[in-house]
Amino acid sequence: MTLQKEWLERCRLVTEADKLCVESSKLWNEGTKLSAENHKLGVKADELWAESNKLMDKANKLMDKANKLRLEADKLWARAVEKADGIAKAKWVQRDGESDCHLPNGEVYRWDMTEGE
């Protein structure tokens, strides 16, 4: 009894398996490289995210400061208007994205001027 035919088939299958193992190793190595690159990018993304959060926090602080200054300016203006003419009410009119102040005595103070009209 000879097993030559079966032995040759086994050898063919082992050879095919070896080729698949080599290809698998190549793909595994490529996958490992991509995984490492992904990790690096993830770390960089985390760093950028943290930096953007710092910048947005700083921006929010500046916006808070700006809002406080605007409130201070509005209070100063309201006191000045009331002191000058005893006028307690002023009408604010939006123009070009800014507010103009219209007083009951007819004076108009535009946002982009330094003196009343």
What is the reported pLDDT for 114? 55
Distance CA 47, CA 40 (A): 11
Could you give the percent of the chain with pLDDT greater than 70? 90
Helix (H) / strand (E) element for 109: namely strand 108-109
Residue that is written with structure tokens 């002191």 in the block: 83
Residue that is written with structure tokens 């000879």 in the block: 2
Instruction: Please answer whether residues 90 and 102 qualify as being in contact, where contact means their C-beta atoms are separated by less than 8 angstroms.
Output: yes
Strands (E), the chain: 91-95, 98-102, 108-109
Sketch the domain layout of the chain as residue ranges: 4-86, 88-117
The predicted model scores a pTM of: 0.57
Residues recorded for the chain: 117
pLDDT in tens, 20-51: 999 999 999 999 999 999 999 999 999 999 99
What is the reported pLDDT for 116? 47
